[in-house]
Structure 1
Amino acid sequence: MFGGGGGLNPRKMEQMMKQMGIDVEDVDAEEVIIRTDEYDLVFDDAEVTKMDARGQETYQIIGSPEQVESGAAGGDAGTDADAGAEAEPEIPDGDVELVATRAGVSEDEARAALEENDGDLAAAVETLE
Structure 2
Amino acid sequence: MFGGGGMNPRKMQQMMEQMGIDVTDIDAETVTITTTNGEQLVFDAPEVTRMDAQGSQTYQIVGEAETKDAAGAIEDSSGEDAGTDEEAIPEDDVKLVASQAGASKSDAREALEAEDGDLAAAISRLG
TM-score (norm. length: structure 2): 0.51
**What aligned pairs does 1:25-40 form with structure 2 within 5 A after superposition?**
25-36=24-35, 37-40=37-40
> What is the rounded CA distance, in whole Å, between the counterparts of 1:70 and 1:22 in structure 2?
37
Task: Find out whether 1:53 has 2:49 as its counterpart.
Answer: no
Which has the larger Rg?
A: 1
The secondary structure found in structure 1 opposite 2:5 is coil
> What is the rounded CA distance, in whole Å, between the counterparts of 2:71 and 2:9 in structure 1?
39
Q: Check whether the contact 1:51–1:58 (CA below 8 A) recurs between aligned residues.
A: yes
| Aligned residue identity for 2:67 | Q
Q: Which structure would you say has the larger RCO, counting Cα contacts within 8 Å and 6 or more residues apart?
A: 2
Structure 1's 17 and 69: CA in aligned 2 closer, same or farther, altered over 3 A?
Answer: same
The secondary structure found in structure 1 opposite 2:17 is helix
Structure 1's 69 and 61: CA in aligned 2 closer, same or farther, altered over 3 A?
Answer: same
Q: Check whether the contact 1:35–1:70 (CA below 8 A) recurs between aligned residues.
A: no
Structure 1's 35 and 21: CA in aligned 2 closer, same or farther, altered over 3 A?
Answer: same
| Aligned residue identity for 2:45 | D
Structure 1's 13 and 40: CA in aligned 2 closer, same or farther, altered over 3 A?
Answer: same
Deviations 1:66-106 (A, max 9, x none): 11123749xxxxxxxxxxxxxxxxxxxxxxxxxxxxxxxxx
Q: Check whether the contact 1:32–1:43 (CA below 8 A) recurs between aligned residues.
A: yes
Q: Check whether the contact 1:27–1:48 (CA below 8 A) recurs between aligned residues.
A: yes
Q: Percent identity?
A: 62
Give the 4+ runs in structure 1 shifted more than 2 A: 70-73
The secondary structure found in structure 1 opposite 2:6 is coil
Where does the alignment leave 5 or more consecutive residues of structure 2 unmatched? 74-127
C-alpha displacement of 1:7: 1.3
Where does the alignment leave 5 or more consecutive residues of structure 1 unmatched? 74-129
> What is the rounded CA distance, in whole Å, between the counterparts of 1:71 and 1:32 in structure 2?
19
Who is 1:9 aligned against?
A: 8
TM-score (norm. length: structure 1): 0.50
